[in-house]
Amino acid sequence: MSDSSSGHDWAELAELAHQEHGDRALAQGLLEAWRREQGTAAAALYVSSDSGFERTLTSGSGSFPERLPRDTSEGIALPGARLLAVGTIDRAPVGPLRVALVAALEIHRLRRRLKEQRFTHNYRGVELEALYDVGLAIASTLDLDELAEGVLLRAVSLLDARRGALYLRDGEGNFRLDHTFGGDALAVLPVGDPRLAAVLSGEPDAEADVLPGTHHHLAVAVEVDGDPRGLLVVGDKESRTGVGPFGERDRRTLGLFANQAAIALENARLHRQALEKERLERELDLAADIQKRFLPTSLPETGRFEVLGWNRPARHVGGDYYDVRRLQDDRLVVVIADVAGKGMPAALLVSTLHSALRLLETPEGLAPEMIARLNQHVTEASASNKFITLLLAEIDLVGGGVRYVNAGHNAALLVRDGGGVETLGSTGLPLGLFAGSSYRVEGTSLSAGDLLCLFSDGLTECESPAGEEFGEGRLAALVREHARRPLAEIVREIDRVTTGFSEGAPQADDQTLVFVRCTDEPSRG
Partner 1 sequence: MSETLKVTTGRKDDVAVVYTEGYINNQGGEEIARVAGDLISAGERKLLLNLGGTKIVNSIGISILIEIIEKMLEIDGRLAFCNLTPTIEKTFHIMGLTQYATIFESEDGAVRELAG
User: SS3 of 274, please?
Assistant: helix
Pick the binder of partner 1 from 157, 376, 423, 445 (CB under 8 A): 157
| Cβ neighbours of residue 498 closer than 8 Å, sequence gap 6 or more | 459, 462, 470, 511
- Answer for which of 95, 125, 212, 465 binds partner 1 (CB under 8 A) is 125
Could you tell me if 440 and 369 are in contact, meaning their C-beta atoms sit under 8 angstroms apart? no
The β-bridge partners of 180 are 165
* Angstrom distance (rounded) from CA 364 to CA 70: 104
Given the complex with partner 1, which of 261 and 459 has the nearer CB atom? Answer: 261
For partner 1, which stretch binds (CB under 8 A), given 69-77, 123-131, 300-308, 512-520? 123-131
CB-count burial class (<10 Å; 0-12, 13-18, 19+) for 516:
buried
Cβ atoms of residues 27 and 108 within 8 Å: yes
- Quick one: which segment of 235-243, 290-298, 304-312, 400-408 binds partner 1 (CB under 8 A)? 235-243
| Candidate list 41, 77, 126, 286; residue touching partner 1; CB under 8 A | 126
Distance of CA 455 to the CA centre of its chain: 40
- Check binding of 153 to partner 1 (CB under 8 A): yes
Q: Are 212 and 184 spatial neighbours (Cβ–Cβ below 8 Å)?
A: yes
Does position 216 interact with partner 1 (CB under 8 A)? The reply is no
Q: How far is CA 380 from the centre of its chain?
A: 29
Between 45 and 407, CB nearer to partner 1: 45
Between 214 and 267, name the residue whose CB sits nearer to partner 1: 214
Interaction between residue 56 and partner 1 (CB under 8 A) = no
> Per rule CB under 8 A, is residue 160 in the interface with partner 1?
yes
Q: Is 362 one of the binding residues for partner 1 (CB under 8 A)?
A: no
522 in Cβ contact with 326 (< 8 Å): no
Nearer to partner 1, 90 or 184 (CB): 184
Beta strands in 90-226 (DSSP E): 161-169, 175-181, 188-189, 217-224
- Residue 122, interface with partner 1 (CB under 8 A)? yes
Query: Under the criterion CB under 8 A, does residue 308 sit at the interface with partner 1?
Result: no
Q: How far is the CB of 33 from partner 1 (least distance, A)?
A: 22
CA gap 355, 374 in Å, rounded: 10
Is 183 an interacting residue with respect to partner 1 (CB under 8 A)?
Answer: yes
Nearer to partner 1, 4 or 122 (CB): 122
Among 162, 169, 217, 377, binds partner 1 (CB under 8 A): 162
Give 129 or 329: the residue with its C-beta nearer to partner 1.
Answer: 129
Q: Does 145 bind partner 1 (CB under 8 A)?
A: no
Q: How far is the CB of 126 from partner 1 (least distance, A)?
A: 5
Tell me how far apart the alpha carbons of residues 445 and 403 are, in angstroms, rounded to a whole number. 8
- The residue from 35, 108, 163, 377 that contacts partner 1 (CB under 8 A) is 163
In angstroms, give the least distance from the CB of 157 to partner 1: 5
Residue 388 near residue 409 (C-beta atoms within 8 A): no
Residue among 47 and 433 whose Cβ is closer to partner 1: 47
Q: Is 261 in the site for partner 1 (CB under 8 A)?
A: no
Integer Cα distance of 371 and 514 in angstroms: 20
Size of the site for partner 1 (CB under 8 A): 24
- Contact stretch for partner 1 (CB under 8 A) within 77-85, 118-126, 321-329, 358-366: 118-126
CB 489 within 8 A of CB 297: no
137: contact with partner 1 by CB under 8 A: no
How far is the first Cα of the chain from the last one, in angstroms, to the nearest whole number? Answer: 142
The string of DSSP codes covering 440-494 is --EEEE--TT-EEEEE-HHHHT-B-TTS-B-HHHHHHHHHHHTTTS-HHHHHHHH
Q: Which of 119, 274, 468, 496 lies at the binding interface for partner 1 (CB under 8 A)?
A: 119
Shortest gap between Cβ of 389 and partner 1 (angstroms)?
A: 51
Among 15, 90, 106, 129, binds partner 1 (CB under 8 A): 129
Does residue 239 interact with partner 1 by CB under 8 A?
yes
Answer for the pair 381, 349: CB distance below 8 angstroms, yes or no.
yes
Please identify which residue in 8, 118, 277, 484 interacts with partner 1, judged by CB under 8 A: 118
Helix (H/G/I), strand (E/B), else coil: 499: helix
CA trace torsion 71, 72, 76, 79 (10° rounding): -30
185 touches partner 1 by CB under 8 A: no
Binding positions for partner 1, rule: CB under 8 A: 118-119, 122-123, 125-126, 129, 133, 150, 153-154, 156-158, 160-163, 181-183, 238-240
